[in-house]
Structure formats: C-alpha cells, structure tokens
Amino acid sequence: MYTRYGNPTRTATEQTLSAIEGSSDALHLSSGMAAIATVCSILRPGDHVLCTRDVYGGTHKLLSKYITEYGIDVTYADACKIDAFASELRESTRLVWLESPTNPTIRVVDLRACAKFAKNVGAVVVVDNTFATPVLQNPLELGCDVVMHSATKYLNGHSDVVGGALMWNDEAFGIFREYAMAVGNTPSPFDSWLLKRGLCTLELRVLHQSASALAIAKFLDGHQAIELVHYPGLSSDAGHDLAKSQMKGFGGMLAFVVKGGEDGARTVANSLRTVKVAASLGGVESIIGYPPAMSHAMLSEQERSERGIAPGLLRLSVGIEDPQDLIEDIEQALSKVH
C-alpha cells in the first residue's frame, strides 16, 4: 500500500512517541497544524468548540476562519479562570482545546479541573503539550483525552524537520489514523527518522533548557529595562504553585515585556548576537520571537491586548548553550533600551 497508510520507520517513531507520553497509541503527522486539523475531523455541524483564549495563532486561525465555515461554533475563554471557562461549556460542546503553558504568555492551566468540567458534558479534551513536552507534563495522567504536539519543536529539537503528533488511550480515537490515511497528512519515512533521532536526546535537552530558562528568568526579573517576566518557575508568577503540582519542571520557554513597547522589543531582538530571531522554538539553539508581528500577527490589536500580548512582549525559547553566555547576550541587548 501507499506509505501514507503506514511505514515501518513511522511505526517505530510512533511507538517511541507513545512510550514517552504514556499512551496506548500515537500518530505521527506532517505538521502540528496537520495534527490539529486531524483532531477537528471529529467535529460535525452544530458542534461547539471551547478553546482557551491564550492559544497559538495558527490554532486560532484554523478554528476561527475555517472550522466555523462548517457550521461549528467556536468560543474562546480564559482557561486560567476555571469557573468562567467552565461556564462556557454547553451540551453541544464536542471539543475542548487547551494549552499549558500557553503561547506566548507562558500561563499555566489547571488541566485536571478543566478535564473534570468538560467530562460533565461529554466533551473531548485535547491538550497542546508542545511547550511542556512529555518530560515535564503528561496530560493523559491528568484526565485529558488526547495530547497534541508540534513535533517540529522540542520533540525533534534540531530545527530540521516539520512534524506533528497525537497520543491517546481510548481506542475510539483510532479514527484519527483512518482520517490521516484518507487525507494523506502523514510524514515521509525520512521525516519520521529525523524525529526519532531527536527523541533520543529529548530529556537531556529539556532538563538543561529548563534549568537555563529559570536562571534567565531570575536575571530578567526586576531588571530596569523589563516591565514583566512570564515564567512559572518564578515564585512570584501566578501559575507557580499550579505548575509545581502538575509539571515536573517549568520548561524552556519564557516571555518578557521590554520597556519602550514595540521599539524597545525590536531594539533588544535586533541587538542579540547569540540568540537568533526566528519563528520556531524548542531547538538546540536559543530563539527569540516577537509575537505581535510573528506567531500572533493574525490577531487584531484588541485581541492581542485581551490575551496579554503587550507591544513590548518577546518570547524566548532557551537552547542548550551555556546559560551565562545567554544572560550576557541578553544583558548587552537590554543595555540598548533607553
């Protein structure tokens, strides 16, 4: 049969994905967006989707612009305010989409509580676990139904392949594999091999990146050129206690607001030497992005404001470089802000 139906290399990679996430099954797809679209294949006209307000811009665009065209209603609510989020659930809610930590403000969502409320209406709970990785968080153990990853990021870790992944325990979600076979959004065997190679060092990379991110967050916290630091590893962060209860570490992603708004943020980003300005994240190299013009450019200024995406916000993906080198690089860039 065609390799989109299955391939020994892809099967081996899926077995590894299943093992590290603690699931009974896993599916390797051609991109993170392909994984999201595959989940959406369970939706039918009249269904309702409840999505966390803080969500990757690509997810927002898919749900808002395309999924709604099929007669599906989509609501966004702040999943960090669990009672208000739960109040948006309906009898017709078929899918609840969550991220934790969120993109790009690194907020922590109570996955156990969200899953509990969603089950009351029979909704399928899906968690984008890209930022946390299976090393630090396992949503299936917290009561969620499906885990999604942009495998382009941490799972691969080397910025040389695009991929997505879905993991689940309920046999009913085997329909995802059937859908992927039909539409052909599966990766090549070589892409599967690249992902499996990256998975070999996942834990080593993530633990080092998490430790470095904490050191950088502490450096930034209180710096005269910084208005605010978003990182759950800081005791002052609103999600700190929750992160300690559902995660094994705080991750390699952080965000911070530079004084001077857009001009200040662009000055810092353009002054960095070791850290690279790029759209992706989760690789061995440190990458910084400007969400208002990159990952969340498709949102309106008001929508970004509602999500805490300030004009001076920068999102940093910490790589495996020496953390002191990174701190020194960031420090010299911040010195350019007046």
pLDDT in tens, 102-114: 999 999 999 999 9
pLDDT-derived band at 222, boundaries 50, 70, 90:
confident
What percent of the chain has a predicted confidence (pLDDT) above 90?
A: 92
The pTM of the full predicted model, rounded to 2 decimals, is 0.95
Q: Are 211 and 169 a contacting pair, CB within 8 Å?
A: no
276 an active-site residue? no
For residue 225, the enclosing domain spans 202-334
Q: Are 268 and 334 a contacting pair, CB within 8 Å?
A: yes
Q: Report the alpha-carbon distance of residue 196 to residue 289 in Å, rounded.
A: 27
**How high is the pLDDT of residue 209?**
98
Tokens representing 187 are 């990766």
Query: In this structure, are 178 and 212 located in the same domain?
Result: no
Q: Are 122 and 96 a contacting pair, CB within 8 Å?
A: no
Please say which residue of 170, 199, 228 terminates a domain: 199
53 an active-site residue? no
Q: Which of 110, 128, 145, 237 is catalytic?
A: 128
**Which CATH number covers residue 111?**
3.40.640.10
Query: In this structure, are 301 and 227 located in the same domain?
Result: yes
**How high is the pLDDT of residue 40?**
98
Q: Is the pLDDT of residue 24 over 80?
A: yes
* Counts of helices then strands in the chain (DSSP H, E): 13, 12
Q: Which of 10, 94, 153, 307 is catalytic?
A: 153
**How high is the pLDDT of residue 142?**
98
Residue 120 neighbours by CB distance under 10 Å: 11
Query: In this structure, are 181 and 279 located in the same domain?
Result: no
Q: Is the pLDDT of residue 49 over 90?
A: yes
What confidence tens digit (pLDDT) does each residue in 231-265 have? 999 999 999 999 999 999 999 999 999 999 999 99
**How high is the pLDDT of residue 332?**
97
Bridge partners for 128 per DSSP: 99, 148
What average pLDDT does the chain have? 96
Q: Is the pLDDT of residue 293 over 90?
A: no
Q: In total, how many domains does the chain have? A: 2
What confidence tens digit (pLDDT) does each residue in 256-289 have? 999 999 999 999 999 999 999 998 999 999 999 9
Q: Report the alpha-carbon distance of residue 4 to residue 39 in Å, rounded.
A: 18
**How high is the pLDDT of residue 307?**
83
Query: In this structure, are 327 and 182 located in the same domain?
Result: no
Query: In this structure, are 279 and 142 located in the same domain?
Result: no
Strand 93-99 versus strand 73-77 pairing type: unpaired
Q: Is the pLDDT of residue 300 over 90?
A: no
153 an active-site residue? yes
pLDDT-derived band at 118, boundaries 50, 70, 90:
very high
Q: Is the pLDDT of residue 81 over 80?
A: yes
Query: In this structure, are 50 and 170 located in the same domain?
Result: yes
The HSE-up count of residue 277 (CA atoms within 13 Å, CB side) is 15
**Which CATH number covers residue 206?**
3.90.1150.10
Bridge partners for 85 per DSSP: none
Query: In this structure, are 217 and 172 located in the same domain?
Result: no
Q: Are 85 and 118 a contacting pair, CB within 8 Å?
A: no
Region 314-335: mean pLDDT is 98
Region 28-53: mean pLDDT is 98
With 0-12 / 13-18 / 19 or more C-beta atoms within 10 angstroms meaning exposed / middle / buried, residue 121 is middle
Query: In this structure, are 132 and 28 located in the same domain?
Result: yes
The side-by-side arrangement of strands in the sheet containing 276-277 is 226-230, 253-258, 313-317, 287-289, 276-277
**How high is the pLDDT of residue 305?**
83
**How high is the pLDDT of residue 218?**
98
Q: Is the pLDDT of residue 330 over 90?
A: yes
Cβ neighbours for 327, distance < 8 A, ≥ 6 positions apart:
215, 216, 219
Query: In this structure, are 290 and 227 located in the same domain?
Result: yes
Q: Report the alpha-carbon distance of residue 229 to residue 252 in Å, rounded.
A: 14
Region 27-55: mean pLDDT is 97
Please say which residue of 177, 199, 221 terminates a domain: 199
Q: Is the pLDDT of residue 338 over 80?
A: no
Q: Which of 25, 47, 54, 56 is catalytic?
A: 56
Alpha-helical segments (H) within 133-222? 133-136, 175-183, 189-199, 202-220
Region 117-137: mean pLDDT is 98
Query: In this structure, are 105 and 28 located in the same domain?
Result: yes
Query: In this structure, are 275 and 308 located in the same domain?
Result: yes
Query: In this structure, are 38 and 60 located in the same domain?
Result: yes
Please say which residue of 166, 184, 199 terminates a domain: 199
Cβ density class 58-87: b for 16+ within 10 Å, e for less: bbbebbeeebeeeebebebbbbbebeebbe
What confidence tens digit (pLDDT) does each residue in 134-186 have? 999 999 999 999 999 999 999 999 999 999 999 999 999 999 999 999 999 99
315 an active-site residue? no
DSSP H/E element including 167: strand 164-168
Q: Report the alpha-carbon distance of residue 146 to residue 161 in Å, rounded.
A: 23
Whats the size of the chain, residue-wise? Answer: 338
Q: Which of 4, 112, 119, 197 is catalytic?
A: 4
